[in-house]
Amino acid sequence: MKFDGGKQVKLSIISFMVQRNLIHRVHLRGSFQVTRAAWPHMKKNKYGRIIMVTSAAGIYGNFGQANYSAAKLGVHGMANTLAIEGKKDNIKVNTVAPMAGSRMTETVMPPDVVQTLKPEYVAPLVLYLTHDSCEESGSLFEVGGGWIGKLRWKRTIDATCRTKDKPMTPEDVRENWDKITDFTDATHPTTSTESTAHMLSVIQNIEKGGSKKQRSTSSRGIDPDQAINQKMKPTTFTFTKKEVILYALGIGVSTQQEDYLKFLFELSDDFCVIPSFAVVPAFSAMGDGLIGGVPGLNVDPTKILHGEQYTELYKPFPTSGTLTSRGTIVDVLDKGSGAVILMDGRFKARNTANPPSRAPDASMSEKTSIDQVGSKLEILLIHLLEPQMLA
């Protein structure tokens, strides 16, 4: 009997392609076709809810399921794009990866375990995600047995492995491998725009000759290579209602204003803290945590300018208490005669910007009130910070 190896290989490839196409037609193309039929009606009505179904095999991979895994992860990728395209038409799209008892799981799991994975424990999540009150979109959830978890991407701070006008080599990658794979301080990009913006910012810095490999210790005592990713020691700032009132006075709250009592009178029923009070503990953090306390940043405190701060409040400031500030040096940008030090600056924004060469679009001047004199504010800040800086 003559064995034709080439024919057998060809038959095996054909069999594989048939199985692969079948899996893709059911899971990926099937999801696409159903969505394509419903999409125009959802757009017309300015309302829609779509739930895609993926699996752990698609998210994490699984032995012997390359075709199935590819199709299932493709479903989630399609859902991500549909969520972006449907946003303007109030179409919410999410993906669930259910673990439920089925004929397939019955063959690999004990009966008592299968009983805990009833579809009834998956359906409530699907019902909530499709309810008109749910605003969630573009998200991925694992669900099973009454447990629900949301998944997201996580990316390391990364490393710059090349310098301007020099080739990038595998050795550069090897030298930076520990940093490339270090998730200690990670970001969570949620859009391709956010991901690309960071990369373009890094490329822009390289093209300006600002690669970290080219940096060196300056005569001013700044060593970016040593300073970046350094954690500052935590600092505390204790304040009372008196400091809250002094701050309000310092930024111009006046008795001439209609609602001044809630900012200047501690017994007022509406007494509260102006949110920008957050800059005060930030000054304390710079004084205690930055000056002389971070390797690579030996700077003169008289030459430090608190230039910009992003603050997000999750609940109103208490009118008294102790705040703890923790910071990390994210980057050091060389500005020629000085440097910009970015502390915990990862709040979904670019960290560099090219100023336009044109004249200003608009220019205005405004006279400060008699209650808001510059020297008064400086004295106030010194008064507020002095106890902490001397501690």
DSSP secondary structure of 204-268: HHHHTT--GGG----TTSB-HHHHTTPBPPPEEEEE-HHHHHHHHHHTT--TTSTTTHHHH-TTS
Give the C-alpha separation, 122 to 281, whole Å.
46
Show the tokens assigned to 239.
Answer: 């304040």
SS3 label, residue 123: helix
Question: What's the order of all strands across the beta sheet hosting 48-53?
Answer: 48-53, 91-98, 140-144, 147-151
CA atoms within 13 A on the CB side of 16: 10
SS3 label, residue 168:
coil
Where does residue 321 rank: exposed (0-12), middle (13-18), buried (19+ CB within 10 A)?
A: exposed
Q: How many Å apart are CA 26 and CA 7, to the nearest integer?
A: 29
- Let me know if 68 is a catalytic residue: yes
For residue 374, give the nearest of 241, 252, 242, 203 by alpha carbon: 252
Tokens 């006075």 identify what position?
A: 249
Other CB atoms within a 10 A radius of the CB of residue 80 amount to 20
Q: Does the CA dihedral 107-112-113-114 come out positive or negative? A: positive
> Cα–Cα distance between 159 and 172 in angstroms, integer?
10
Picking from 272, 340, 348, 341, the residue whose alpha carbon sits closest to that of residue 310 is: 348
Kindly name the residue from 47, 60, 68, 128 that is annotated as catalytic: 68
381's CB contacts (< 8 A; 6+ apart) are 250, 280, 283
Catalytic residue numbers?
68
